[in-house]
Amino acid sequence: MQAGKPILYSYFRSSCSWRVRIALALKSIDYETIPINLIKDGGQQFSEEFQKLNPMKQVPALKIDGTIIGQSLAIIEYLEETRPTPRLLPQDPKKRAHVRMISDLIASGIQPLQNLSVLKEVGQENQLTWAQEAINFGFNALEQILQTTAGKYCVGNEVQGGSHSLPYHQPHQQVAASLGGLPSVSPLPAAGYTP
């Protein structure tokens, strides 16, 4: 596989893809996008061609430096290690741990529970309640954590990984998770980026 301009397999409304797009933008990395429409044609992520790129049948996947990486946080860690400027993780190991804890809380603790395939399993009647519960549970925990870690961003005042995960909640306002009473969670995306 020849290395050229990175190619991001992405869907505009996918919050995991969004997270990677933010990291790419912050690091001013020039890349091409190949859209994978998660709805059209029964889900283009299920095509034979895409499954070969990412057997998890999920976006994002990034073709970069002659390899393919799936999973948004693994992609961001790779970008951080190979394109370190500007840095997205603080230098202090404890703060780095807090950023990763927050990112994982969102990427493992909230998001998988309310993605398309799970909502399909849950059924149309129950999916709104289901998604709201998952998001509210996670955001309540996040609120409690941010009260000790947050400055302008999730951990302190430097832009960093945890905050990337946060714009995540924007697309999901469609499921109307309540942000009322979460003073530390609510202002962060607005203070962060316009995707």
Which residues here bind its own copies, judged by CB under 8 A? 55-58, 65-67, 69-75, 77-78, 81-82, 93-94, 96-98, 100-101, 103-105, 107-109, 111-113, 118, 121, 130, 133, 138, 140-145
- Least distance CB 173 / its own copies (angstroms): 21
Reduced to 3 states (helix: H, G, I; strand: E, B; else coil), residue 10 is strand
Reduced to 3 states (helix: H, G, I; strand: E, B; else coil), residue 74 is helix
Give whichever of 1 and 194 is closer to its own copies, judged by the CB atom: 1
- Least distance CB 7 / its own copies (angstroms): 15
- C-alpha 183: how far from its chain's center? 21
Give whichever of 96 and 194 is closer to its own copies, judged by the CB atom: 96
- Least distance CB 136 / its own copies (angstroms): 13
Give whichever of 83 and 194 is closer to its own copies, judged by the CB atom: 83
Give whichever of 144 and 157 is closer to its own copies, judged by the CB atom: 144
**Encoding tokens for residue 149?**
């870690």
Strand partners of residue 32: 7
The CA distance from 78 to 69, in Å, is 9
Reduced to 3 states (helix: H, G, I; strand: E, B; else coil), residue 112 is helix
Give whichever of 22 and 111 is closer to its own copies, judged by the CB atom: 111
Give whichever of 18 and 77 is closer to its own copies, judged by the CB atom: 77
The CA distance from 15 to 169, in Å, is 8
Backbone angles phi, psi at 156, to 5 degrees: 70, -155
- Least distance CB 62 / its own copies (angstroms): 9
Q: Which helix (H) or strand (E) holds 63?
A: strand 61-64
- Least distance CB 174 / its own copies (angstroms): 21
- Least distance CB 54 / its own copies (angstroms): 8
Best CA proximity match to 86, nearest among 144, 139, 161, 18:
161
Q: Say what angle helices 15-26 and 72-82 make with each other, to 10 degrees.
A: 10
